[in-house]
Structure 1
């Protein structure tokens, strides 16, 4: 892509915001495209040993004076006899009635993964993979465009994602895989061994950022004989995305092209008995046929190309 080229226009639902690593607290950032039904915000971090309280605010603006309206004020408190969470909304400079949840599933000196899942009428919050609360909106979700984090908290990563389309309806929450393992970036090329192969219901997740001078991105699955029954390839030069057969034949995928320099992306592959379903940035865009025997024989996931990797599962 040359400096004079413009990015193709994309529907808002396809645009993902890059993750933020190790932000300095207090931290305030714009939420790209604002909040909408199906949006997820993932917060990964550690509660300090001497923590008293922290808060996560989904705000309608970022002014200091006057204070912006706050649609969701999520406020864990650790300094009381019984640690708990307060949720509330700020409208016109006045706090509304507090909602309190006991049994706080966060502990001092412990790491956590909090997932905010925004639905039609309410936001659901899970902590470390378990449902904790839901909070009915008191302000329109469409007004929220800012995230604020403050208080006694160490944040490793903040992720902005869309609902996994394959999991919706079958589970209350999509799986929130952390962005960080030991470091913000994984080595590329990247390889993952699949000792048991793949099976229906399993989801492959790849999250990354396209580099400035990238030429392509390839995700391939190898079987026991080192053949490549499945290859997904994005060519940045001609802006095409395709399945590539073991014999080199290309089957184009009709979907908006997402892989541009400095743009974050998420690839999801859902294994089912007839093959693989593909989603890009939370939107289903196609499938390829394989069959259960071929899935069972796959033994390695390989990722290469001009990208930074933030998450690979499995």
Structure 2
């Protein structure tokens, strides 16, 4: 059971540094870059660059550079034709040595909205066209756990920016394109409508943090509010297990519990990709196979509701 990311969802997990993630087709409003990591206790600085190429001398549309020690500031800037522009500086806020962090860079029509640990951090105006960004580069004093490019997956609409060169299209894939903008840091309980419902090969991504004193949480794929649950994913932290089940016609079916390894633990981030196959659901954790669950009722457009409830904080949900 191989993990194949759907177009518009480009994750990389636990990469070595320096790291470069490609951005297929460039960036556009509605897309975002997600970076998760840990600042080591004796860190000096690290950087996250949205660059116009993988090389060290490429132009940089956005340079996010937290600096620790005596300087204790975050610097935001851009580099064009080899020259750095005017700096934007601000306090480090929740970024600090020995602390985990989630950095979200959301692309807006006017610029980049930067969030750290779910809170607004800084805004940076476009100085270079975002659709020319082809790489996310990360280096420095950071333990990098995940880099994900969210949204897009196709050509940038030519009519939106007619004077800009056309980017490279996303590689061919039989998977549906995840073009919906991700929902960042929604409150729990969370309920959302799945656009088009659970059609074949549809992928749903749920990423979040399991609270240190968590007892349990669940993810339901349901046929409308209050309807049948085709897939119930229920991590029970006190039992160190993940229960899978269905609720059809008001009755729960037999539980499935077997797992070779359970990565869903208290006090840790999780990243689940749920893919609807022709005969079963395929569920991956950080790109690794976690379990399959055979369809007990046919999926389809009528299965259009996602529910998340319990002892978790959500980072993002993406269809």
Range class of TM-score, shorter chain: 0.5 to 0.7
Question: Does residue 124 in structure 1 map to residue 113 in structure 2?
Answer: yes
Which of 11, 21, 45 is the equivalent residue of 1:53? 45
Residue matched to 1:222 = 247
Question: Does residue 94 in structure 1 map to residue 83 in structure 2?
Answer: yes
- TM-score scaled to structure 2, two decimals? 0.53
Is the 2:76–2:88 Cα contact (8 Å) retained in structure 1? yes
Secondary structure class of the residue paired with 1:142? helix
- TM-score scaled to structure 1, two decimals? 0.54
Aligned ranges 1:174-253 → 2 under 5 Å: 178=207, 194=218, 221-222=246-247, 225-226=251-252, 233-235=276-278, 248=297, 250=298, 252-253=300-301
| Structure 1 residues 147-166: Cα deviation after superposition (integer angstroms, max 9, x where no partner) | 11111111111122238658
Secondary structure class of the residue paired with 2:251? coil
Residue matched to 1:293 = none
Residues 89 and 194 of structure 1: CA distance in aligned 2, closer, same or farther (over 3 Å)? closer
Q: CA deviation at 1:20?
A: 1.1
Aligned ranges 1:38-187 → 2 under 5 Å: 38-64=30-56, 67-81=57-71, 83-162=72-151, 167=183, 178=207
Is the 2:17–2:139 Cα contact (8 Å) retained in structure 1? yes
Deviates more, 1:25-34 or 1:132-141: 25-34
Secondary structure class of the residue paired with 2:146? strand
Residue ranges of structure 2 left out of the alignment (5+ in a row): 152-178, 191-204, 211-215, 226-230, 234-243, 255-274, 281-293, 308-316
Runs of 4+ in 1 over 3 A off after TM superposition: 163-168, 176-181, 192-200, 250-254, 267-271
Residue matched to 2:272 = none
Is the 2:15–2:146 Cα contact (8 Å) retained in structure 1? yes
**In 1: Cα distance, 2:27 partner to 2:219 partner:** 40
Is the 2:30–2:181 Cα contact (8 Å) retained in structure 1? no
**In 2: Cα distance, 1:69 partner to 1:195 partner:** 42
**In 2: Cα distance, 1:221 partner to 1:124 partner:** 39
| Structure 1 residues 185-230: Cα deviation after superposition (integer angstroms, max 9, x where no partner) | xxxxxxx765999997xxx999xxxxxxxxxxxx9742663169xx
| CA RMSD, Structure 1 to Structure 2 (Å) | 4.5
Q: CA deviation at 1:68?
A: 0.9
**In 1: Cα distance, 2:20 partner to 2:98 partner:** 24
| Structure 1 residues 75-132: Cα deviation after superposition (integer angstroms, max 9, x where no partner) | 0011225x22111010001001111112432111111111111111111111111111
Question: Does residue 28 in structure 1 map to residue 17 in structure 2?
Answer: no
Residues 196 and 26 of structure 1: CA distance in aligned 2, closer, same or farther (over 3 Å)? closer
Across the two proteins, how many residue pairs are aligned to each other? 209
Residue ranges of structure 1 left out of the alignment (5+ in a row): 1-6, 8-13, 182-191, 207-218, 238-243, 255-266, 272-280, 284-314
Is the 1:53–1:77 Cα contact (8 Å) retained in structure 2? yes
Is the 1:52–1:78 Cα contact (8 Å) retained in structure 2? yes
**In 1: Cα distance, 2:73 partner to 2:304 partner:** 35
